[in-house]
Chains A and B, each alone.
Chain A
Amino acid sequence: MSYQRERQTELAVIGSGIAGLSAAFFAVQQGIETVLLGGAGSSDFASGALDLLSTFPGEVITQWDDPWQALGVLPEFYPNHPYTHLQPEEIDLALNQVLQALERKGLGYQGLERNVQLITSLGTCKQTYRVPESMWPGVKAFQDKSPCLLVDFHGLKDFSGPWLRSTLAREWPAIRTERIDFPETRGHSELFAVRLAQSLESERVRQKLAAAVAPLIRDEQFLAFPALLGLYSSRAIRAELEERLGVPIFEIPTMPPSVPGLRFLETMSDILNGYSCFRRESGKRVSHIQREATGQIVLTLGDGEFSSRVLSRQVMLATGRFLGGGLQADPEQIREVVFDLPVVQPSPDQGWHQEDFFDPRGHQANRAGLEVDSVFRPVDTQGNVVYENLYAVGSILAHSDWMRMKCGAGVAIASAFKAVQSISTAYNQEDRFSL
């Protein structure tokens, strides 16, 4: 006899990266009963900054200071991009709702009406739209080339202050670096940003860090660290360190896995857990799906004895691409993993990938994915909606190279918003009908 847990819900969201978490967030706000499925996503590989849109790939790369202006002309150049299903007002609203909810939980983001330049650990400039507030003073410090002390740590092999200083020396000569032992890490040769961020949740460790850094500061106006100043209470931690050290502090984005990316995921989860109509079924993959005559979709999670089932009226796919596990490729073609939905394939004449990794046009395979209608329901090759209660959001969508266009977070959040709106409208109509 096999034991099978079964749960009924209005909406099942598959995938818990930025798109999945955002979809669940918009849904529970509308009071829609939601179950979030699937693993942690690949978002801890993101920088923590929220991109909207800054670049058009092509023979020559076009960079846009103003993402809204870029959105205005996008349909001319990319007529099928997911953003073409959205009004700028909807995108703005969606981003603001998420940002406000994060802010209420103490995870602040800053930005301007245009894109900003963020210095990365390689000394490159990342152009993005909303910057974690922990990095924001760095944007200004870089603009003004203010004197700045950059502190990094013995054993933190993913971050090199000397590299950053040397690379920026010409444009920002007033950077000085110091490398110190991170408090309470004696005996650990290798340090990891996520682990150090966790340890800074302890006041004792913060005190020791401040004591170690204080004597190093000369006349610098800013103090910079790799992005590891706390995981859950980063705002308070940074404020406390600033008070102890007497200078504004900022973080520099690092190699993945990134602490600011994790902060985003953790805070979103925290927000969702506050809603009684929200449930999470984590850890297991969807192993089987079945669509009943009523249209209800039955999702089986895991295999065999310990599997469970979720019966849902609406399903949202936010499973990501190859790394997230939403798409899978064999030598011949790309498949969608859960529903085996039709996938827009790279055109055979142009090949999957360019010969140059950094080709300014980007790679075809990164624009493969799901074709959707105006409310983000996957469609088949004839343009017909596959299931009227199945949606797809985020990076799995076709015609959007999130890595090159720098539009990952924006597409994830805004497509989730629009899809939930559609579900919500149907839901409310049904409610009224049944009354």
Chain B
Amino acid sequence: MQTQVLIIGGGCTGTGLARDLALRGIDCILVEQRDINAGASGGNHGLLHSGARYVSNDPHSAVECHAEAELLKQLAPQCIEDTGGLFIAVQGDDERYISDFQSCCDREGIWCRPVDFQEAGELEPRLSAKLIGAYAVRDASVDPFRLSLENIGQAMELGAGYYNRHRVIGMKAGSCLLHSVLIRNVSSGEDLEIEAEVVINASGAWAGQVAALAGISLEMLYSKGTLLVAHNRLTSRVINRLRPPSDGDILVPGGTVSIMGTTSLQLPDLRDIRPTRQEAREMVKQGAAMLPGLPDTRFTRAYAGVRPLLKSDDADGRAVSRGFALIDHARDGLENFLTVSGGKLTTFRLMAEKAADLTAQKLGLRTICRTRTEALPETHIGKWSEGGRSPRAWLSSGEAADHILCECEMVPRSHFVQVLDDLQSRQAETPDLDQLRRRTRLGKGACQGAFCSVRVTGVRYELGALKGDQGRRQLKNFLQARWAGQQPVLWGAQLAQAELSEGMHCAVFGLEMEPYS
């Protein structure tokens, strides 16, 4: 198989790059070893940075974030909830940091307004009464899944190819060029060789491993960030702690939930990237300074992402610049190989633009970037991942026979069938429940998939999409994958919920005695 450009990695950068290249009329293929946003692009809090977070320690990133955030609000409004944000400080926080905040924002041209404490309390009733500083900023929340699905959706409409569950296993290089990349279908084990004029490594935390296949050493820093999902939406706005970046200093609302973040833990490798109970407890404790009700808040799950940072001499993951790196491996002797790494969700478009500019130059093409000016069209594949959208559509359709399969998030049968059909038309193998979860609200509500996964599996047998004991095995894998996130936050009501799930799946159905797939 041949293409002009091969992109490795289906996160925000890779999918954004596919769209950017496709809009320039450049032929490209994207390969992803798991699924869209399976890495850090899906493991973050979904914050569209106003830039205010970085004004004191990384002004360059602050300015970049600010410009990109304002652009995305215009061009991809379907993926963004323009919530606004607050920076707050509480008794005991560093007063010098607080007093410098406004002037730092002003210096970088980032909008920021002091808010009096009574007003802050009225805007966000759950805030601590012990405020000593409060500023309004233009933070917003973004749905990274939707963003990536829309990006790859348009890219594919324009002719880009997409292979998910295909892992890069080898590269063939000549004296100064990469000739081809060997990929393997992780489900079937089949191999495929793709010849490309330019190869772009956008594999996030795996960038070092991918570069190694081309014989290039790229030293990475792995910094694990753990986040918690609250059962309800706790605030209308993004709430930031007005202090130097540290654990438990941000709460991002998105749809029907709020995301509490974040921790930062250096890891030597990518082997253990699960969130832990200890991290969850610590974050709740820290976050309680901003929102005193957090210890009694119901959290449904935790998840962790690995911040892909290129190694510098600095040892702390947070202090490394969040500015991205675009590496032209001509420096390592390969003229047609690039790595784009680091950066933030907010600046994904800019990273893609820069990488595409360099790619076009390497291809000898004169093109201009169109993602800076053209709106991201709304494709249908991403829409059911938005909280609250399914029930609205279901209610207004008045389709009585279309019953609700997921009662927590109110998703009707037809939405699942639509997404499954779409997946089935794009891939050879049977879609699994995890793919369905990324594209709908499956398993995202209070029951964490205990009930809806069974119902959806039943429907798929009825449609002839599953055979033999595929369903039981898929179900077991899915429940296990969901468990990894629930396990760190099992206390209060969510522990009772977990007992119901185990009572059903182990005590009644005996699933623990069955094999995994």
Interfacial residues, chain A to chain B (CB-CB below 8 A): 42, 45-47, 51, 55, 61, 63, 120, 122-127, 155, 157-160, 162-163, 166-167, 169-170, 179, 187, 189-190, 253, 255-256, 258, 321-323, 325, 328-332, 351-360, 363, 365-366, 402-404, 406, 408
Contact pick for A124, options B461, B496, B511, CB 8 Å: B511
- Could you write out 21 A-B pairs with CB less than 8 Å apart? A42-B500, A47-B508, A63-B513, A120-B510, A124-B472, A124-B513, A126-B508, A157-B455, A157-B458, A157-B459, A158-B455, A187-B400, A189-B400, A258-B508, A329-B495, A331-B277, A352-B277, A355-B484, A358-B476, A358-B506, A358-B511
- Closest-by-CB residue of A relative to B479 is A357
Say yes or no for B160: interface residue by CB 8 A criterion.
no
Which among B454, B483, B510 has the greatest number of chain A C-beta atoms within 10 A?
Answer: B510
Bound CA span A160–B413, Å: 14
Q: Are B281 and A331 in contact (CB under 8 A)?
A: yes
Q: Is the CB of A46 within 8 A of B507?
A: yes
Contact with A along B476-517 (1 / 0, CB 8 A): 100110111001001110011011101110111111111010
How far does the alpha carbon of A255 sit from the alpha carbon of B467 in the complex, in Å?
A: 21
| Residue numbers in B under 8 Å from A189 (CB-CB) | 400-403
| A381 → chain B closest CB, angstroms | 22
Complex formed: what's the CA distance from A330 to B277 in Å? 12
**B503 and A323 contacting across the interface, CB-CB below 8 Å:** yes
Kindly list the 7 A-B residue pairs having the minimum CB-CB distance in the complex, ordered from nearest.
Answer: A160-B458, A357-B483, A403-B507, A163-B461, A322-B496, A358-B512, A162-B461
CB neighbours of A403 from chain B (8 A): 499, 502-503, 506-507
Query: Cα distance A42–B500 when bound, in Å?
Result: 9
Does B509 lie within 8 Å of A122, measured CB to CB?
Answer: yes
Task: Tell me whether B503 and A351 are in contact (CB under 8 A).
Answer: no
Residues A169 and B499 in contact, CB atoms below 8 Å apart = no
Query: Are A157 and B495 in contact, CB atoms less than 8 angstroms apart?
Result: no
**Which single member of B457, B458, B469, B512 contacts A360 (CB below 8 Å)?**
B512
Q: Verify A167–B471 contact, CB threshold 8 A.
A: yes
B292 at interface (Cβ–Cβ under 8 A)? no
Q: Which residue of B lies closest to A190 (CB)?
A: B403
Q: Counting CB contacts under 8 A, is B466 at the interface?
A: yes
Closest to B404 in A: A190
Which residues of A lie under 8 Å from residue B140 when comparing CB positions?
A: none
In the bound complex, residues from chain A placing their C-beta under 8 Å from that of B506 are: 358, 403-404
Once A46-B503, A61-B513, A323-B499 are accepted as A-B contacts, the answer to whether A329 and B462 lie under 8 Å apart by CB is no
How far is it, in angstroms, between the C-alpha of A378 and the C-alpha of B496 when the chains are bound?
Answer: 23
Residues A162 and B462 in contact in the complex (CB < 8 Å), given A167-B468, A331-B295, A408-B507: yes
- Do residues B496 and A155 form an inter-chain contact, with CB atoms below 8 A? no
Q: Which residues of A contact B338 (CB under 8 A)?
A: none
- Specify the chain B residue showing the minimal Cβ separation from A48: B508
Report if B274 contacts A (CB, 8 A): yes
Find out whether the CB atom of B510 lies under 8 angstroms from the CB atom of A124: yes
Contact B510–A163 (Cβ < 8 Å):
no
Contact across chains for B496 and A323 when beta carbons are under 8 A apart: yes
In Å, the complex CA distance between A351 and B278 comes to 10
Considering residues A120, A323, A404, which has the most beta carbons from chain B within 10 angstroms of its beta carbon? Answer: A323
Q: By the criterion CB–CB under 8 Å, are A166 and B487 in contact?
A: no
Question: Which residues from chain A contact B458 at a C-beta distance below 8 Å?
Answer: 157-160, 162-163
Report Cα–Cα, A190/B394, bound state, in Å.
Answer: 14
Question: Do A358 and B469 contact each other (CB < 8 Å), given the known contacts A42-B500, A157-B455?
Answer: no
Given the complex, which residues of A lie within 8 Å of B475, measured CB to CB?
122
Instruction: Please name the residue on chain B nearest to A54 by beta carbon.
Output: B510
- C-alpha spacing A365/B490, complex, angstroms: 10
Could you say which residues of chain B place their CB within 8 Å of the CB of A404?
A: 506-507, 512
B residues in contact with A46, CB < 8 Å: 503, 507-508
B295 to A352, Cβ gap below 8 A?
no
Within 8 Å of chain A (Cβ to Cβ): is B284? yes
Q: Which of A256, A329, A358 contacts B508 (CB 8 A)?
A: A256
Interface assignment of B280: CB less than 8 Å from any CB of chain A: yes
> Considering only CB atoms, which chain A residue lies closest to B487 in the complex?
A353
- Kindly supply a per-residue 1/0 record for chain B positions 440-464, scoring 1 wherever the CB is within 8 Å of any chain A CB and 0 otherwise: 0000000000010011011101100
Q: A126-B510, A331-B281, A358-B480 are in contact. Are A255 and B468 (CB under 8 A)?
A: no
CB distance from A331 to the nearest CB of B (A): 5
* Shortest Cβ gap from B443 to chain A (Å): 13
Of the residues B404, B466, B504, B510, contact of A45 by C-beta under 8 Å? B504
Q: Is the CB of B454 within 8 A of A158?
A: yes
Which of A47, A61, A331, A365 is B280 in contact with, Cβ under 8 Å? A331
Complex Cα distance A157/B402, Å?
Answer: 11
Q: Kindly list chain A residues whose C-beta atoms are within 8 Å of the C-beta of B17.
A: none
**A contact residues around B499 at 8 Å (CB):** 321-323, 366, 403
State whether B510 touches A255 (Cβ < 8 A): no
Contact partner of B507 (CB less than 8 A), chosen from A155, A166, A328, A402, is: A402
Nearest CB to that of A325 among chain B residues?
Answer: B496
B405 sits at the interface (CB 8 A): yes
- With both beta carbons as reference points, the residue of chain B lying nearest to A351 in the complex is identified as B277
Given A162-B462, A330-B491, does the pair A127, B277 have CB atoms closer than 8 Å? no
Do the beta carbons of A357 and B472 come within 8 Å of each other? no
Bound complex: CA A403 to CA B472 (Å): 19
User: How far does the alpha carbon of A329 sit from the alpha carbon of B516 in the complex, in Å?
Assistant: 31
Q: Is the CB of A166 within 8 A of B274?
A: no
Q: Distance in Å from the Cβ of A167 to the closest Cβ of chain B? A: 5
The contact of B457 among A163, A328, A355, A408, by CB within 8 Å, is A163
Give chain A nearest CB distance to B67 CB in angstroms.
Answer: 40
* CA A160 to CA B482, docked complex, whole Å: 23
- Distance between Cα atoms of A169 and B451 in the complex (Å): 24
Instruction: Tell me the minimal C-beta distance from A137 to chain B in angstroms.
Output: 20
Chain B positions within 8 Å of A167 at CB level: 468-469, 471-472
CB of A331 within 8 A of CB of B507, answer no
A329 touches which one: B476, B483, B491, B513 (CB < 8 A)?
B491
Q: Other CB < 8 Å A-B pairs besides A124-B514, A358-B479, 4 of them?
A: A124-B511, A155-B403, A170-B468, A256-B503
CB distance B509 to A126 under 8 Å? yes
Give CA–CA (A255, B472) in the complex, Å. Answer: 14
With most chain B CB atoms within 10 A of its CB, the pick from A42, A170, A179, A353 is: A353
Whether the Cβ atoms of B483 and A323 lie closer than 8 Å is no
Q: Verify A160–B461 contact, CB threshold 8 A.
A: yes
CB nearest neighbor in A for B482? A357
- Give the chain A neighbours of B284 by CB distance below 8 A: 331
Q: A125 vs B510: C-alpha distance in the bound complex, in angstroms? A: 7
Separation in Å of the A360 CB from the closest CB of chain B?
7
Contact residues in B for A323 (Cβ distance below 8 Å): 496, 499-500, 503
- Write out the residue numbers on chain A whose beta carbons fall within 8 Å of the beta carbon of B455: 157-158
B272 nearest CB neighbor, chain A only: A355
Measured CB to CB, the closest approach of chain A to B506, in angstroms, equals: 5
CA distance A150 to B500 in the complex (A): 28
Which among A330, A353, A357 is the interface contact of B480 at CB below 8 angstroms? A357
Contact with A along B250-276 (1 / 0, CB 8 A): 000000000000000000000000100
Bound form: Cα–Cα A158–B492 in Å:
27
Residues of B within 8 A of A332 (CB): 281
Contact with A along B39-72 (1 / 0, CB 8 A): 0000000000000000000000000000000000
Determine whether the beta carbon of B462 is less than 8 Å from that of A160: yes
CA distance A141 to B176 in the complex (A): 70
Roughly how many angstroms separate A159 CA and B455 CA in the complex, as a whole number?
A: 8
A352 touches B461 (CB 8 A): no
**Residues of A close to B482: CB separation below 8 A:** 357
Report B385-420 residues with CB < 8 Å from chain A CB: 400-405, 413
Expressed in whole angstroms, the Cα–Cα distance for A65 and B213 within the complex equals 53
B247 to chain A, nearest CB (A): 15
A373 vs B502: C-alpha distance in the bound complex, in angstroms? 28
Q: Complex formed: what's the CA distance from A403 to B479 in Å?
A: 16
Residues on B with C-beta less than 8 A from A365 are 490, 495
Of the candidates B281, B496, B509, B512, which one forms a contact with A120 in the assembled complex, judged by CB atoms under 8 Å apart? B509
